[in-house]
Amino acid sequence: MTKVRKAIIPAAGLGTRFLPATKAMAKEMLPIVDKPTIQFIVEEAINSGIEDILIITGKSKRPIEDHFDSNIELEQNLREKEKFELLELVEETIGLNLFFVRQSYPKGLGDAVLHAKAFVGNEPFVVMLGDDIMDDEVPLTKQLMDRYEKTHASNIAVMRVPHEDTSKYGIIDPEAQIDDGLFNVKQFVEKPDPKDAPSDLAIIGRYLLTPEIFEILENQEPGAGNEVQLTDAIDNLNKIQRVFAHEFKGQRYDVGDKFGFMKTSIQYGLKHTQVKDELRQYIKDLAKDLEAEDNEKAIEEIEEVLKEKVEEEKNKKS
């Protein structure tokens, strides 16, 4: 059995949900406190035992390459000033087996993955989306790799979501649960209407795929949004070889929209050694202020209702 050694991180999206910040800045470089979002993804790959990582980039994504490259002037400055802790943080992001290729046109996630065909060769590989930061004792990518060792087949990470949110995700139609948290899949459905959703198990941003997916992607017709959809290709792959779904039960942070990004920043900040205590106290103080504002607003509303009733009584008497 071929070992899973390679990971693909698509990072060519325009980041329109974060405009104007992403007009001239890669969305993947937006920091969660002091760490770019893409670094969380790379760290998960490394901690899972991945050896080689290909990042699919696009226009205005050069800062991603620079972040994972050496900065000689900065490193020298930190050494001279004996700021060794900061130097260690800077050096964490260099010396990795990282490779880059550009997706010239935004033709969808499936097309981005197809750009990795030469890099992957005839090996199983992992696709890791940058909008999802996963937190668990065992990294989610490692969980998928462990499943592959037993199934020798593609494994897709899924997670239970509120039924009304199924239209936001690719959803699996599970055939049977063959092991704890491992499902045979009848079909994969891209963003179904909640009334048509076959389950509440949503595809999240981690996929372990066999190389046969590339031939399917090469012949895949554009789907939703006139883009080559990876979910459609996986559904076709499932017709010629088994594709399993692995249920993730850890914590998922969605940094693909503004509110999710803000929540993630707060959660990470509450664990960050440099800011956690001050942030916790700030949140407590802010909660008191917000509660006081809500109480004041409620009192004003009650007073307004009473005032209207008094006016009504006056009008009746006159």
Q: In angstroms, rounded to a whole number, what is the distance separating the alpha carbons of residues 145 and 151?
A: 10
Helix H or strand E segment including 10: strand 6-10
Task: Please write the tens of the pLDDT for every residue from 201-251.
Answer: 999 999 999 999 999 999 887 777 777 888 889 989 999 999 999 999 999
Query: What's the pTM?
Result: 0.87
34: number of Cβ within 10 Å: 12
Q: In angstroms, rounded to a whole number, what is the distance separating the alpha carbons of residues 177 and 66?
A: 44
Per-residue pLDDT band at 2 (split at 50, 70, 90): confident
Helix H or strand E segment including 113: helix 109-114
Q: In angstroms, rounded to a whole number, what is the distance separating the alpha carbons of residues 155 and 7?
A: 14
The pLDDT of 118-135, averaged and rounded, is 94
As a 3-state breakdown, the chain gives helix, strand, coil percent values, each rounded to 5, of: 45, 25, 35
Looking at residue 29, its pLDDT comes to: 92
The Cα-based distances of 258 to 159, 253, 261, 282 in angstroms read 21, 12, 5, 21
The pLDDT of 183-201, averaged and rounded, is 89
Which residue, 206, 216, 205, is CA-closest to 238?
216
- Helical residues (DSSP H) of 152-275, grouped into ranges: 213-218, 230-237, 258-269
Residue 303 has pLDDT above 80, yes or no: no
Per-residue pLDDT band at 318 (split at 50, 70, 90): low
Residue 294 has pLDDT above 90, yes or no: no
Residue 96 has pLDDT above 90, yes or no: no
The pLDDT of 282-305, averaged and rounded, is 87
Q: In angstroms, rounded to a whole number, what is the distance separating the alpha carbons of residues 121 and 8?
A: 13
Residue 118 has pLDDT above 90, yes or no: yes
| Tokens linked to 194 | 């909640």
Looking at residue 48, its pLDDT comes to: 95
Helix H or strand E segment including 311: helix 276-317
The pLDDT of 47-60, averaged and rounded, is 91
Q: In angstroms, rounded to a whole number, what is the distance separating the alpha carbons of residues 104 and 59?
A: 8
Which phi and psi angles does 147 have, rounded to 5°?
Answer: -65, -40
Residue 316 has pLDDT above 80, yes or no: no
| Tokens linked to 188 | 């994969």
* Terminal alpha carbon distance of the chain: 93
